[in-house]
Amino acid sequence: MNLARPVSSQPIVSKAALKSASRSQSRRRLLGMLILLLVVFGLSLFLGRYPHVGLISPAQLTEDPLAQRLILNLRLPRLIASVLIGMSLAGAGMVMQMVFANPLVEPGFLGVSQAAAFGAALTILASGGVGWQVQFSAVIFGLAGLFLSYLLARRVRYGGWVLRLLLAGIAVSALFASGVGLIKYLADPLRQLPDITFWLLGGLWSITWRSVLSVLPLISLGLLVLWLMRWRLNLLALDDEVVFSLGVAANRERLLVLLAAVAVTAASISISGLIGWVGLLVPQLARRLSGADARDGLPTAFLLGGIFMMICDNLARTISAGEIPLGILTSLLGALGFVILMTRRTYKV
């Protein structure tokens, strides 16, 4: 019985060609993006206002000790931070979109962002806001937000596990958002409110080597876990009964990758403040470039996220003499990019 009757007009492809072509193609694409990331990194190191917008030339660098210090102590940690944060937010976004089988989810779901914001604002209100205290409090509250969502989800008596987590996350987010509102209302409008507002808008101007190194272990570990589980993410997006029948302990694995995603998100937010849209837009873009399979999609999202964040931060620190909050730029570019993606005729998630 001949089953392979021609259903599409495409030619019959040989198995061998199918096997080799797609993998090596995607490897080349990833390598190309890695090189692009390094090039952008290198250029960004020399780009900035010193004192006017432009690149610092190698000649200037050899004879100007101030320029050397600027690059080594300010720009280098800041660029490393922006790559880490971009990778984290984009990777976490990809993971959340797959676990919730919904391409419109972002890392702030499950109450993480709002809880971290609440933690930071609370510390600024209580202690005036020493850097590391704000950072620590943001991570702790971010994880607490996840934990609260998780506990609440176990109590929700409606829908499957994924829907319950989502509903719980919405409730927890709203709870912490109202808390942030209350703190803003109570804060000293001259000393504390500007700090809180800047933190809510996000930015990397306060990044030092110390703050980068403080989040580096957690972010590296989280990203490593996600990278190792990248093929597995595809399975976690399947319906519960299907993933069960494939012999996968889905809820345990979902919890593990969510925990890793939330950890890198909270760590990122803790040094940068709230930065939106990256975690929503970049995974969408990554899937368009590499296809839906997270084996390629996740590394693509990592690299794209890093590149996107460096470019946004370059703009934030060079467009005007004063710094533009990074969160405003990512929202602007992210929203524009999203509109373009959604209105293109060939749109697919």
Partner 1 sequence: MNEAVLRFEQVVYRYPDAAERALQGLSLDVPRGRVTAILGPNGAGKTTLLRLAYGRFQPQAGRIWLEGRLLSSYTRQELGRKVALVPQRETNPFSYSLLEYVLLGRAPHLSPLQMPTAEDVEIALYALETTGLLPMTRRTVQSLSGGEFQLLLVARALAQQADLLLLDEPTSHLDLGNKKRLVTCLQNLVAGGTTILFTSHEPEVVAALADQVVLMRGGQVLSSGALEDIWQADRLSEVYGIPVQVHRFDGHRYLTWV
**Smallest distance from partner 1 to CB 247, Å:** 2
* CB of 243 or CB of 303, closer to partner 1: 243
**Smallest distance from partner 1 to CB 212, Å:** 28
The three-state secondary structure class of 55 is: strand
**Smallest distance from partner 1 to CB 286, Å:** 12
Specify the amino acid at residue 48. Answer: G
* CB of 22 or CB of 57, closer to partner 1: 22
Nearest to 108 by CA among 246, 328, 274: 274
**Smallest distance from partner 1 to CB 12, Å:** 5
Interface contacts to partner 1, rule CB under 8 A = 1, 3-8, 10-13, 15, 18-19, 22, 98, 101-103, 228-229, 231-232, 234-235, 237-239, 241-242, 244-249, 253, 287, 291-293, 295, 348-349
* CB of 132 or CB of 347, closer to partner 1: 347
With tokens 């998100």, the residue in question is: 265
**Smallest distance from partner 1 to CB 101, Å:** 6
* CB of 33 or CB of 105, closer to partner 1: 105
Q: In whole angstroms, what is the distance from residue 260 CA to residue 213 CA?
A: 18
The three-state secondary structure class of 246 is: coil
Exposure on the CB side of residue 181, measured as CA atoms within 13 A: 6
* CB of 13 or CB of 66, closer to partner 1: 13
**Smallest distance from partner 1 to CB 340, Å:** 18
Q: Is 81 in contact with 264 (CB distance < 8 Å)?
A: no
Q: In whole angstroms, what is the distance from residue 265 CA to residue 163 CA?
A: 21
**Smallest distance from partner 1 to CB 60, Å:** 47
DSSP-derived secondary structure letter, 14: P
Extract the tokens encoding 106: 């972002």
* CB of 12 or CB of 66, closer to partner 1: 12
* Residues in the chain, total: 349
Give first-to-last CA distance, the chain, whole Å: 37
Q: In whole angstroms, what is the distance from residue 178 CA to residue 238 CA?
A: 34
**Smallest distance from partner 1 to CB 294, Å:** 9
* CB of 76 or CB of 248, closer to partner 1: 248
**In degrees rounded to 5, what are phi and psi of residue 59?**
-60, -45
**Smallest distance from partner 1 to CB 236, Å:** 11
DSSP-derived secondary structure letter, 207: -
Count CB atoms within 10 A of the CB of residue 52: 7
* CB of 131 or CB of 291, closer to partner 1: 291
Extract the tokens encoding 95: 């993971």
* CB of 168 or CB of 236, closer to partner 1: 236
Extract the tokens encoding 334: 């992210």
Q: Is 164 in contact with 158 (CB distance < 8 Å)?
A: yes
